[in-house]
Amino acid sequence: MVDSQPDVSTKVDRLLADLAALAAVGDTGDGGNCRLALTDDDAGGRELVVGWMRDLGLDVRVDRIGNVVATRAGSGGPGLEPVMTGSHIDTVRTGGRYDGTLGVLAGLEVVRALDDAGVRTRRPLAVAFFTDEEGSRFAPDMLGSLVYVGGMPLEDALDLVAIDGAVLGAELERIGWAGSAPVPGPAPHAYVELHIEQGPVLEEEGVAIGAVTGVQGISWQELTLVGQANHAGTTPMRLRHDAGYVAAEVAGFVRRLAVSLGGHQVGTVGRLGLHPDLVNVVAARAVLTVDLRNTEAAVLATAEERVRSFAESCASGEGVTASWRTLARFEPVAFDPGVVDRVEAAAVARGLSVRRLPSGAGHDAQMLARVCPTGMVFVPSRGGVSHNPAEYTAPSDLAAGAQVLADVLVDLAA
């Protein structure tokens, strides 16, 4: 930390209390959370967090896609872009209590720490949460921050259809979170996001802080296979057009391909639905999703091509048609070297072990990186588990992450 900087000390007990209070909204009863984007539970989380923002005297703006930016004034007069931090408070269906929420609530803790220290940073400090970061109800992921940075027109975002058939714009209106602030939003001076690693690296190496170098490429494809419903008992194998069989072959291929490519390559078939989904009917239709990711853009493109050609040759051999829909496609993103350096230096200054690593998960930071110098701070995930109610990060690790975040934000806002 730069010596001339005031010592702004975050307090982990307040952060833990906020995390627990937010975890009570959309509580799944097993230690986890379900606040799928733009559901009533998401709305409940929004109400709670915006209430805390207002209690802290922040200027709260809600934009037309429902992103919330709460700003603490700086001393440097009008026209100075804020330093921004934040993340998301929507969750997957089997969410834990730290994914996303840590970044937003640690931002509020930095505000409290500044108030405690009587410090007014030169630049304003903004704490944001972005709509539908998870993308699991309405694809793509990082939807709100993508619209915020001008990566998707508002109208296209409002027309998105959820896996349950809801239309994004209508849901936003229904829950009362269609704001008036325009999108794209104003580019911050810099953006730094605190997030759990959600993977095993920091814990396996006994490292406290991750200075995140960037985010790997993400490819989400939806594959629809159409065969022919038929009687499971009377239809000879040679006469079948079994969409369920092709779906299962594709799922197996995705797994084998990811393992064979090695490196950071991962592949997941997370959704798989059959129709008519009955024990004694050959599946007429299968709809599945293929999530492929890699830090290497070229290898990711190869993986996509290999999956597509396998699926199509398997489908045609079975007399099944295959059609694709892209749900999300983001190239790998490199964070700003200066911000990565600041994260690393802040950890060292606090006597914390730190290492650089890419993010396996997508984050709002990868969108803000399009418009301003951006970086992330990671803290360890126990067992590398996330998107699971057992998601856990120890209070000492949360405290370290929040303090490093505070130091970097104060440094950037000076």
Residues of this chain that bind ligand HGY (CB under 6 A): 133-135, 141, 361-362
Which residues on neighbouring strands pair with residue 192, listed in sequence order?
85, 375
**Residue 171 interacts with, from Mn ion, ligand HGY, none (CB under 5-8 Å by kind):** none
Closest distance of CB 291 from ligand HGY, Å:
7
49 binds, among ligand HGY, Mn ion, none (CB under 5 to 8 A by kind): none
Selection from ligand HGY, Mn ion, none that 100 binds (CB < 5 to 8 A by kind) is Mn ion
Report residue 263 CA to chain centroid gap: 22
Identity of the residue, 124 or 360, whose beta carbon is nearer to ligand HGY in the bound complex: 360
In the complex, least distance from residue 363 CB atom to Mn ion, rounded to whole angstroms: 6
90 binding Mn ion? (CB under 5 A): no
> Which parts of 227-286 interact with Mn ion (CB under 5 A)?
none
For Mn ion, which stretch binds (CB under 5 A), given 100-108, 162-170, 246-254, 295-303? Answer: 100-108
Single out the segment in contact with Mn ion by CB under 5 A; choices: 45-53, 95-103, 176-184, 268-276: 95-103
* Comparison of 109 and 132: residue with beta carbon closer to Mn ion: 132
Nearer Cβ to ligand HGY (51/270) = 270
Q: Does 100 contact Mn ion by CB under 5 A? A: yes
Instruction: List the structure tokens of 341.
Output: 């350096």
Strands 374-379 and 190-196: parallel
Q: Which one of ligand HGY, Mn ion, none is in contact with 344 (Cβ closer than 5 to 8 A by kind)?
A: none
Q: Which does 203 bind (CB under 5 to 8 A by kind): ligand HGY, Mn ion, none?
A: none
DSSP assigned state of 136:
S
Question: Minimum Å distance from CB 149 to ligand HGY?
Answer: 16
Choice between 141 and 171, CB closer to ligand HGY: 141
Piece of the chain touching Mn ion by CB under 5 A; list 93-101, 118-126, 221-229, 282-290: 93-101
| Residue 362 interacting partner from Mn ion, ligand HGY, none (CB closer than 5 to 8 Å by kind) | ligand HGY
Query: Which residue matches tokens 């952060």?
Result: 15
DSSP 90: -
| Beta carbon of residue 99, minimum distance to Mn ion (angstroms, whole number) | 4
Pick between residue 95 and residue 227 the one whose CB is nearest to Mn ion: 95
Q: Is the dihedral of CA 139, 145, 149, 150 positive or negative?
A: positive
DSSP conformation letters of 213-224: EEE-EEEEEEEE
The minimum distance between CB 358 and ligand HGY, in angstroms, equals: 12
137 CB-contact burial (10 Å; exposed 0-12 / middle 13-18 / buried 19+): buried
Which residues have C-beta within 8 Å of that of residue 4, sequence separation ≥ 6?
A: 414
Q: Which does 391 bind (CB under 5 to 8 A by kind): ligand HGY, Mn ion, none?
A: none
Interatomic CA distance for residues 116 and 127, integer angstroms: 17
Which one, 121 or 131, has the nearer CB to Mn ion?
Answer: 131
Please say whether the beta carbons of 107 and 410 come within 8 A: no
By C-beta, is 227 or 360 nearer to Mn ion? 360
Among residues 138 and 253, whose Cβ is nearest to ligand HGY?
138
Q: Which of 99, 193, 304, 397 contacts Mn ion by CB under 5 A?
A: 99
* CA gap 11, 294 in Å, rounded: 36
Stretches 21-29, 96-104, 115-123, 286-294: which one binds Mn ion (CB under 5 A)?
A: 96-104
Nearest residue (CB) to ligand HGY, 144 versus 244: 144
Could you tell me if 201 and 266 are in contact, meaning their C-beta atoms sit under 8 angstroms apart? no
Closest contact distance (angstroms) between CB of 218 and ligand HGY is 7
Q: Exposed, middle or buried by CB within 10 Å (0-12, 13-18, 19+), for 231?
A: exposed
**Residue 135 binds which entry of Mn ion, ligand HGY, none, with Cβ cut-offs from 5 to 8 Å by kind?**
ligand HGY
378-406 burial, b at 16+ Cβ within 10 Å, e below that, comes to bbbbeeebbbbbebbbeeebbbbbbbbbb
> Would you report the helix, strand and coil content of the chain in percent, each value rounded to 5?
35, 25, 40
Helix axes 101-117, 395-413, angle to 10 degrees: 60
Angle in degrees, CA 169, 27, 84, rounded to 5? 55
Q: How far is the CB of 215 from ligand HGY (least distance, A)?
A: 8
Which residue, chain included where needed, has tokens 């391909």? 257
The smaller minimum CB distance to ligand HGY, of residues 350 and 370, is found at 370
Report the phi/psi class of residue 43: left, alpha or beta, with left for phi > 0 and alpha for psi in -120 to 50. Answer: alpha
- Judged by the rule CB under 5 A, the positions of this chain that interact with Mn ion are 99-100
